[in-house]
Structure 1
Amino acid sequence: MRDHTTDLAGLRGDCEQCFGLCCVALPFAASADFAIDKKAGKPCPNLRGDHRCGIHAKLREKGFNGCTVYDCFGAGQKVSQITFGGRDWRTSPPEQARHMAEVFPVVRQLHELLWYLNEALTLPAARPVHDGLRRALDETERLTHKTPEELGALDVAAHRQEVNVLLLKTSELARAGIRGKKKNRRGADLMGARLKGADLRGANLRGAYLIAADLTGADLRGADLIGADLRDADLTDADLTGAFFLTQPQLNAARGGAGTRLPESVTRPAHWTARL
């Protein structure tokens, strides 16, 4: 049974309620993911006056794959409509616009933590730490409502570390019920690894580098995927049902197809279907 105290709809990006903050606040470098260089705080040249992307329908075609896999966890609308009370950075004084760009990444990190905490509270095996998870969720939610000045001074890394202790315990409890020897590949360099059909049930893949790994047909049921880098990993026919702490941005960065089995918390990326 779900035990949420945060509205999950608020943890998904709503571009209609945002002033294009991800297109302004975040930097990127010319690479396989981005066609150009852009500094933090500088608007992307593709951002239109109405805060919409001028090449949204052709991002991959134009070399902006990185934009297609990004998700702000709802931080964009929170900062735009609540933190700054609906004040548009375009019409605000330069100092306030700069402050908005600085605060956005902070709230994005807090919202990502809210996503993990909410998911942790859906796991029956984590019941022994549910009280702590609820307290951490309430505190994290409270932090997202601080003033711009307070958010700018917030030590997000310290808060993440406190929450991570609970998420680690959640992972241990959730994976303990999975039979068999469970692999611990936390933080492992598995870039390009040949893991076709691998038995990774209940594996600890926290922070693992799975860039371009072949995971076709792999069994990832009950695996902890928090922070795993799945860029260009092939998840065709892989089974991720019951995997936890998997986010939509991670999935969007991977490759897969109709046969890929997913947790209910995420949706099948549109570009997977386009490949079929």
Structure 2
Amino acid sequence: MNWSAIRAIYLFEMARFFRTMAQSLISPVLSTSLYFVVFGAAIGSRIDQVEGVSYGAFIVPGLIMLTVMTQAISNASFGIYFPKFIGTIYELLSAPVNFLEIVMGYVGAAATKALFIGIIILVTSFFFVDLQIQNPMAMIAFLVLTCVSFALFGFILGIWAGNFEQLQLVPLLIVTPLVFLGGSFYSISMLPPVWQTISMFNPVVYLISGFRWAFFGLADVPIGTSLAAIALFTAACLGAVWWIFKTGWRIRQ
């Protein structure tokens, strides 16, 4: 394992993150603060509690997941797309670095950025609501797994994308709606039975449910099912990345 190559890619990507601090960090935090004001204050004043938890606190896991997923995808997809766009990816492919080391560098940096932003948002939420975490280790585990899995997905998206517009296509038109419809701001049990059944086909439901369980001990689906879902998603992404580098799809073209 070429740890020097992994470290070089990782540090390069992290340096870009800190160079664009206003866009990378301040913007997501401000957006989340607005969600707290709108949903927590305006709607929360009309909804006292959800399953025994104040509405302002109830939406915290969903808000963190919304930001973490989109940031992990965005950072990973741009990180690998830009070398493709300017042509420097061929230098990387010709270097004595295998695909696993390339993935570890780019995905590791994207996951770290998303994790950092998620923690900042979690800290920010304490200024808005009274929040207690019942299972902090489980919360960290779910957060890390989500960052890594969606960074892998973003890496695949960056290789697939043919232009900058396509980089935003999946996060805006697919991921964000799935998060909003995945129980970010409500419990699935509040929906009519037919919509509860339909929601079970939304993969994001399992992630948010498991993450919320770590906070409050409440879950729309069994915790084991949530873990199995994120493990399956991660394995699928790893398989897709392996196939991409094996075949050279969208890399050597």
Q: TM-score, normalised by structure 1?
A: 0.27
- Identify the structure with the greater helix proportion: 2
Q: Higher relative CO (CA 8 A, sep ≥ 6), structure 1 or 2?
A: 2
